[in-house]
Structures are given as structure tokens and as C-alpha cells.
Structure 1
């Protein structure tokens, strides 16, 4: 198992071209939130914006528009009940993150199906939270022309893989991922989170118990979307997104008993500037 260290951050987070515009840094679609879980959409989209995504669109329930527009004026909003608007947003996005706070309603199931069946090989789909539960509980298959990134915690991975937590060894998890989709990347969120991609298994050497709070996974999904949108789909990009999330949390944990996801988000631009210096 390969250990991921800070070297990867300087390899991935490169200085921006002086002649840049927002279209150079990814068009991100985040499909998230529901009546009872609007905060997940806010954290996910805020993390994407703060990690440098060029354009972020949030597809959510309309009752959450005002909160998102006030908290994250940089993000656009669309109603995920509108099939026409959703289809257009899917087509126009480089990276689609779906699942945070989405729930498992019939509407949510339709959204997951729409994303899996209407994307192409030039796009990346990040499946998180409710999206993983929907796939585990329905006959939807992890098949898509797009690049797939799965981000379960151990309980979600148990539902998806049918591997009890005690049996989630690197060998078993790698074998199960090959069954589900051999081209996908798995981020198994746990103490010292692991990344699985084809024949590679990587482990993050960062993280702390102060991160055990609601919204932490939603924040990671947003960072992943922002990084992939800017730096492309690769194991290095995904490793760097996961690592910077935990490194910032470790710094915060030195003086804070609990690490709030919103505090990680605030520090992202400064940390990215630090590691972009050659």
C-alpha cells in the first residue's frame, strides 16, 4: 500500500496561467440537497468554489435557492425537478457530483439514473452519500461512459459491496471494486482513508477524530469536484484533494477540539497558494 504525502500537492496544484478565464478551471454541476438537508448542498458547492472551480452550478430544490445564493453568490442554481434544465446542465459540465443531502426519494433515484445514463467519456461523475445508497438499494448499475469516483464511508461501502466492515481488507475491497466497475476510483473514507484504482492502493497519512462531524464528506466531495475540474481526472488529482482536506483539518485540530467543515473550506485558497509555489 502506497503512502500519500505532501509531494503530490505540489505536483498537482500548479500556478495559474496569467491568461486565464473561468472556463479554464472546470464547469461543475453539483446535484445535492433536499427539504431537510440543504446544508449538504451549501458545503459541497462552497468547497468546490473555494478550491478553485471556474463555474459551479447547484441543482437542488427551489426552496434552497435563497440560502445558496446568499451564502455562495459565486454559484448558480437550477431546479433539479426540471428535466430540460438538468439535461442541459449535465451536458455542459465537466464534472458532476451527486448525492450530498439528496435523500432517496423517487426524484432522487431519477436524478442518479439521469446522470449515469447521460454522460460521456470526457466527463467525471462523483457519487457520494445518497447516490451510493440509491445504487445499493436499486437495480441501478455502476455503469457509465464517464469516469466514476465513489466516495463511501465504511457503512456505505458495506451496503454497496456487501462486505461487512470487518472484512473490508484492501484485498477484498479491491476485488469488489473490480466487480462493480474496474475503471472506477474508490475513496474509502475511514481513519487513514484509502484510495483504490485498478492495481493501485493508496493511503492518506493525515486526518483526526475532530473531523467526525456532519458535513465533512460533503466538503470533500466539493473539493474533489473542484480539483478534477481544474487539474483533470487522475489518481494524483484525487489523492491531492483528499490529502489537502485532511491536512487543513489536522492544522485546525491543533487548537480546536472539533473541526468544522466550513473552517476547512475557508482555508482552501490559502493552502492551495502555498503548495502552488515552485
Structure 2
């Protein structure tokens, strides 16, 4: 299993063209949150905005609009119960992330199916949290032609793959992933998170115990959304998104016993700028 080098950050995070506008950095739809779990939608969407997505729309339950609009004024909101508007948003965004705080209600099941049934080849679908649980419990096939990125922790991967945690070896993870969708990317969240894609596997050597707190996975989903939106879908982009999440976490852990997801989000623009400047200096 190949280790992911920090040089990937300099390769992916490049200086922005001075003649830019928001349309240059991608349109992203995040379908997240529920009455009980509104914070997950806020963290994922805030991470997408702070990691550079040009336009972010949050499809969630209307009870959470006020909290989202006051916390993330840069993002737009959409009622995910409105099927017509939701379908329009699914078709009009290049990156769709679904799952953080969504729950497993009949509404949530319908949302997962709507995404998988309507996304196309030039789109990327990021499946996280509740979306993965729904796919496992409802046995929903991953047959969309869109690029798929799955971000389970080991418990969610157990439900999807039918592999107990001790059985989640490199070989068996490949076998289970190929059975689900041979073209999908698996990010297995754990100590030393791993990426599986086709016949390649990678591991990060960053991350710390301070990051073991609620909302960390939602934040990673948002960073992935922001990175794919602006830098495009590629293995390098995915590696960079996973790595910067933990690299920032490690920097914060030097002076903090607990690393809060909101603090990682807050530092994203600063550290992305630093890595982009390192790219400039090398050139």
C-alpha cells in the first residue's frame, strides 16, 4: 500500500487565475441534515465553502434554514422535500454529496435513490454516513454512471461490504469494492485512512487522537466536495482532500487536546494558500 506524500498538496492546490469568477470553481449540491442532525449539514457545507467550491447549495429540511443561513451566508438553501427543485439541482450541479446527518427515514431513502437514478457521467457523487447505511440496508445498487466516492468509517464499511472489522484486509476490501462498483473510489476512514481505487491502494500517515470527535467525517465530505468542485475529479484531488484534512488536524493537535472540526474548517483557506504559494515558489 503506497503512502500519500504531502507533495500531492502542492500539485493539486495551485494558485488561482487572477481573472476568475465563482463559476470557475464548480457548483456543488450537499444533501444533508435532518431535524435531529442539523450540525452535520452545517459542517459539511461550511467545509465545502471554505475549501473553495464556487457555488454551494445545501438541500436540507426547512427547519434548519435559519441556522444555515446565519452560519454560512455564502451558501444557498433548498428544501429537499420539493422533488421538482431537488431534481433540478441534482441535474445542474457537477458534484453532489449526500448523507451527513440525513438519517434513514423514508424521505432520506428517496433522496439517495433520486441521486443515484439521475446523476450522469460528468458528475461526481460523494456518498457518506446515512447514505451508506441506506444503501447497505435497502440493498440499493451503485449503478449510476457518475464518478462515485464512498467515505465510510469501518462500521459503515462493515455494513456495506459484509466484512467484519478484523476481516477488512487490503485484498478483501478490494474484492468487496469491486463487487459494489468496480469504478468507485473507497475512502476507508480509520487510523491511517486508506484509499482504494481499481487495483491501487494508498494510505495517509497523518491524523491524531484529538480528531476523534463528532463531525470530523462530515467535514471531510465537505472538503472532498470543495476540492472536486474546483480542481476536478481525479485520484490526486481525492488524495489531497483526504490528506489536508488530517494535516491541518495535526497542526492544531500540537496545541490542542481536542481538535474540533470547525477549527479545521476555519484554517482551510490559510493552509491552502500556503500550499499554493509553495507551488509558485517551486516554479
TM-score bracket for this pair, using the shorter chain length: over 0.9
Q: What is the aligned partner in structure 2 of residue 268 from structure 1?
A: 268
Distance 2:5 2:180 in 1: 28
Distance 1:7 1:276 in 2: 11
Is residue 55 from structure 1 mapped to residue 52 from structure 2 by the alignment? no
Distance 1:4 1:273 in 2: 20
Deviation at 1:78, TM superposition (A): 0.5
Deviation at 1:175, TM superposition (A): 1.2
Q: What is the aligned partner in structure 2 of residue 192 from structure 1?
A: 192
Secondary structure of the corresponding residue to residue 84 of structure 1: helix
Deviation at 1:139, TM superposition (A): 2.7
Distance 1:153 1:113 in 2: 22
1:164-219 superposed Cα distances (whole Å, 9 cap, x missing partner):
00000111101110111000000000000000000110001100011110000000
Is residue 97 from structure 1 mapped to residue 105 from structure 2 by the alignment? no
Deviation at 1:143, TM superposition (A): 1.3
Distance 1:142 1:62 in 2: 29
Distance 1:102 1:3 in 2: 33
Distance 2:139 2:127 in 1: 16
- Aligned length in residues: 278
Q: Which runs of 5+ in 2 are unaligned?
A: none
Distance 2:222 2:26 in 1: 12
Distance 1:274 1:174 in 2: 35
Deviation at 1:126, TM superposition (A): 0.1
Is residue 31 from structure 1 mapped to residue 55 from structure 2 by the alignment? no
Secondary structure of the corresponding residue to residue 29 of structure 1: strand
Distance 1:157 1:48 in 2: 24
Q: What is the aligned partner in structure 1 of residue 255 from structure 2?
A: 255
Q: What is the aligned partner in structure 1 of residue 2 from structure 2?
A: 2
1:129-165 superposed Cα distances (whole Å, 9 cap, x missing partner):
0000000000311110100000000000000000000
1:216-241 superposed Cα distances (whole Å, 9 cap, x missing partner):
00000000000000111111000000
Q: Runs (4+) of structure 1 moved beyond 2 Å?
A: none
Distance 1:143 1:21 in 2: 34
1:41-97 superposed Cα distances (whole Å, 9 cap, x missing partner):
000000000000000000000000000000000000000000011011101101000
Q: Which runs of 5+ in 1 are unaligned?
A: none
1:1-278 matched pairs, under 5 angstroms? 1-277=1-277, 278=280
Distance 1:230 1:185 in 2: 19
Distance 1:109 1:101 in 2: 13
Distance 1:164 1:85 in 2: 40
